[in-house]
Amino acid sequence: MVKEKLRAKILDGSLQDYKTYLAGCYRGYHIVIEFRQPYYIVTINASSTNDANNEMLREFLAQHKGTVKKLAKAEANTHKVSLSVAAPNLQKNLPDVLNNSIAPIINYLVNGNYTSGCENCGDTMQQLHCYEINGLHHYICDTCAKEIEASLQEKQVNIKMQKSQFIPGLIGAFLGSLLGAALWILIYRLGYIAGLAGAVTAICALKGYEMFGKHLDKKGVICSVIIMVAMIFFANKIAWSWEAFDALKDYGYTFSNCFRYLGDILEASGLTGSYYGDLGIGYFLTLICSIGNIINAFKTSAGSYSMKKM
């Protein structure tokens, strides 16, 4: 995750590097650090019988956050502390940034006699293991691990049983994709090929289907992607028709004429290759920008989850 010489400076080198995250115990507290652009997400397991629900700890974290520039979020629930630390501009500054955010909290925990148990139940008697749950890592006991997995399995079954309202969902996907198409045209008018707008089209189509269809199932994801592809095609055609209209309006062409006969106009002007080239690049950039959201939508629609002991 980080270079060895940097890891050795983070919390006195107490955490092990597991390539995608750092984890271990520092002064008796279980800690996980993982990177989620643009933040380092830090979890510290801590609770105290003298601080119900970690209320006093929350007050300290609120004060601490105000004194550390890079500390974007500092929260606590009953059994853990959660931090979001902004990544430094220079990687070499990472140890100082993390230490300044974490070390004062550990000092507070030590002085307050907080203990480090299971993140989920707070039990300090059972041995803790690091589990990866849906991409994030947690120190929990095996009893809670079984309960969490059973809950995820039950949720998966419930999601698979849900069916969307197909026609309203299609209407929602169409309306949502219009926002992305409008952004595509706007960005193209500024002289750029709008891959980002394609991603917005995908996100809005998926969200629109979910809102109107009451649930985003697999057929909803597939239909939303098809609508996205079609909408990008028409957005690109509208953008090019607008360009043609700007060039030909003095010759009596209307926008409707340019849109209807765009193929002939492109062929006559020798721009057919450029038109399809822009469309191809647009689809490629859209794929790069939106593939993660589409894959996650498929996983969510199936109730998919990941959980394993590290």
**pLDDT tens across 89-111, in order?**
888 999 999 999 999 999 999 99
Mean pLDDT of 195-222: 82
76 pLDDT band (50/70/90 cuts)?
very high
Domain count, the chain: 2
In this structure, the answer to whether residues 151 and 10 fall within a common structural domain is yes
66 shares a domain with 150:
yes
Residue 89's SS3 state is coil
pLDDT at 142 over 90: yes
Based on the fold, state whether residues 46 and 187 are members of the same structural domain.
Answer: no
**For position 93, what pLDDT does the model report?**
92
Q: Is the domain of 10 the same as that of 150?
A: yes
* Same domain membership, residue 276 and residue 194: yes
Asked which of 107, 122, 155 is the last residue of a domain, the reply is 155
> Residue 194 has what pLDDT?
62
pLDDT at 294: 82
For residues 212-234, give the mean pLDDT. 87
Nearest CA-CA partner of 28 in 109, 98, 85: 109
**What is the signed CA dihedral for 144, 149, 155, 156, rounded to 10 degrees?**
170
pLDDT in tens, 35-56: 988 999 999 999 999 998 999 9
Q: Which residue, among 226, 236, 282, 230, has the nearest Cα to 259 in the 3D structure?
A: 236
Give the pLDDT band of residue 180 (cuts 50, 70, 90): confident
Same domain, 285 and 191: yes
Asked if 204 and 179 touch (Cβ cutoff 8 Å), the reply is yes
What share of the chain has pLDDT > 70, as a percent? 98
Task: Say which DSSP state 113 is in.
Answer: T
Whether 94 and 17 map to the same domain: the answer is yes
Q: Is 26 helix (H, G, I), strand (E, B) or coil?
A: strand
pLDDT at 141 over 80: yes
Q: 123 and 148 share a domain?
A: yes
Q: What is the pLDDT of residue 5?
A: 92
d(CA 114, CA 50): 8
Q: Would you say residue 13 has pLDDT above 90?
A: yes
Q: Is residue 185 domain-shared with residue 285, that is, in the same domain?
A: yes
Nearest to 179 by CA among 151, 154, 199, 152: 199
193 has pLDDT over 80: no
Mean pLDDT of the chain: 88
Distance CA 87, CA 130 (A): 24
pLDDT higher than 70, residue 195: no
Q: Within a domain: residue 310?
A: no
Long-range Cβ contact pairs of 117-122 (< 8 A, separation 24 or more): 117/45, 117/47, 117/79, 117/141, 118/45, 118/79, 118/144, 119/30, 119/43, 119/45, 119/79, 119/80, 119/144, 120/79, 120/144, 120/147, 120/148, 121/79, 122/47, 122/78, 122/79
Q: Which residues form the domain of 221?
A: 166-302
Torsion angle of alpha carbons 213, 216, 222, 228, nearest 10°?
70
Please compute the mean of the pLDDT values over residues 210-223 and round it to a whole number: 84
Residues 188 and 149 in one domain: no
